[in-house]
Structure 1
Amino acid sequence: MTLLTTWPESGPETVLRRTADPAEIAEALKPLGVRYEQWPVREDVPSDAGSEAVFAAYGPEIDRLNAEEGFTTVDVLGLHPGDDPEYPVKAKAAREKFLQEHTHDDDDEVRFFVSGSGIFYLHVNGEVHAVFCEKGDLLGVPRGTTHWFDMGTKPSFTAIRFFHEEDGWIGTFTGSAIAARFPDYDTVAAGYATDKAGA
């Protein structure tokens, strides 16, 4: 349900690791302090479900994670093409914001994908780890970890967000243009889809 690709920070010409095995992904991310796990997928939850339906479906998992990690705020963020005439503007603005390399000084970035997909790029110890997350995947990026997120040119996802701080998402941007040197969501997703079709 996910894919991990690791490159040296110098660029994507050399692939250091590429795996779609969940156990291997969790093991590779663990030394970075990154939490990766898979939750049961609730197929009866619509891809564009609102907060109430999502909380009802994933209540036990949310309660467990809150008990383990002490989160104080949990919300649901969704972005889907549809009848909203503002979608193109909203999608472009959201993508541009998260696509810039940044850190979070006061909180972890923890997301569970209810539907859709997105890629977290972790820039750690001279390497870039691209974690392609799909529905059922939970990823926890520790505070202080340099990273960026790409949802693609036509984002379509619903995610549960977990926060220790009530202020929610606050990013400290590095000003680096590193994200432009690596394959974006659309490129990675197209290659991943081809791989799955041939499997």
Structure 2
Amino acid sequence: MSSLSVYHVSSPDIPNKVLTHFEDIAATLAERGVRFERWEAATRIQPDASEADIIAAYQARIDALMTECGYVTVEVLRVKSDDAQEAEPQAGPLEERSHRHDEVRLFVAGRGLFSLHIDDYVYAVLCERNDLITVPAGTPHWFDMGERPYWVAVRMSAGSQETQLTGDDIAGRFSRLED
């Protein structure tokens, strides 16, 4: 089940708010400029589906979002425990970073924890199958894949995913995604 835990940066062990209802999560994130939606595939996606099959299952929604937001690339990312070290070659997955363009992920399978550092708060968003999250350009965040990572996601972007590390060690002060 998707969830949102909101923490003040001074109290990383105690969330101010924990939400599990989709509408509450989406509304709270929207207040901070973060898009959070639930997308259903138009066709059933098989475990061994190709990148083309996965994209085709969401094609109409992908096309609409790409047109609306000016995204120009779409790709499928796959991570499982065996290849987790290769998943984020630009930096360790628990280092706070930001991107020049929006970071959009639609989870097709598995799960991951996006933690967004906005002002004095951290919004920890547990994303699972059918969750779409858009992290606005320039938003400091980190992504936790868990101890035994497994996820498949569609990523859309307006350009290259240039990563800028913030140098802040905040990610190490917050709870990890536990399997």
Q: TM-score, normalised by structure 1?
A: 0.83
Q: How far apart, in 1, do the equivalents of 2:50 and 2:153 lie?
A: 10
- How far off its partner does 1:80 sit? 2.4
- How far off its partner does 1:49 sit? 2.8
Q: Which runs of 4+ in 1 moved over 6 A?
A: none
Does residue 92 of structure 1 match 2:85? yes
8 Å Cα contact 2:77/2:153 also seen in 1: yes
**Structure 2: gaps of 5 or more residues:** none
- How far off its partner does 1:97 sit? 2.2
- How far off its partner does 1:125 sit? 1.4
Tell me the percent identity: 38
SS in 1 for 2:31: helix
Does residue 78 of structure 1 match 2:73? no
Gap change, CA 1:42 and 1:156, over 3 Å in 2 = farther
Q: How far apart, in 2, do the equivalents of 1:18 and 1:26 lie?
A: 13
**Structure 1: gaps of 5 or more residues:** 82-86, 191-199
SS in 2 for 1:117: strand
**Any residues of structure 2 matched to 1:81-160 within 5 Å, and which?**
81=81, 87=82, 90-94=83-87, 97-104=92-99, 106-160=100-154
Does residue 185 of structure 1 match 2:177? yes
Tell me which amino acid in the other structure corresponds to 1:175. Answer: G
More strand by share: 2
Q: Which has the larger radius of gyration?
A: 1
- How far off its partner does 1:70 sit? 1.4
8 Å Cα contact 1:49/1:158 also seen in 2: no
Matched positions, count: 177
8 Å Cα contact 1:37/1:138 also seen in 2: yes
2:27 match: 27
Tell me which amino acid in the other structure corresponds to 1:91. Answer: A
1:10-33 Cα offsets, whole Å, 9 max, x none, are: 232322110111111111111211
More helix by share: 1
Cα RMSD of the aligned pairs, angstroms, is 1.7
- How far off its partner does 1:157 sit? 0.6
Q: How far apart, in 2, do the equivalents of 1:116 and 1:62 lie?
A: 20
SS in 2 for 1:97: coil
SS in 2 for 1:32: coil
1:55 match: 55
Gap change, CA 1:93 and 1:10, over 3 Å in 2 = farther
1:50-108 Cα offsets, whole Å, 9 max, x none, are: 21110121111111111211111111001125xxxxx2xx313536622110111x200
Does residue 172 of structure 1 match 2:164? yes
SS in 1 for 2:45: coil
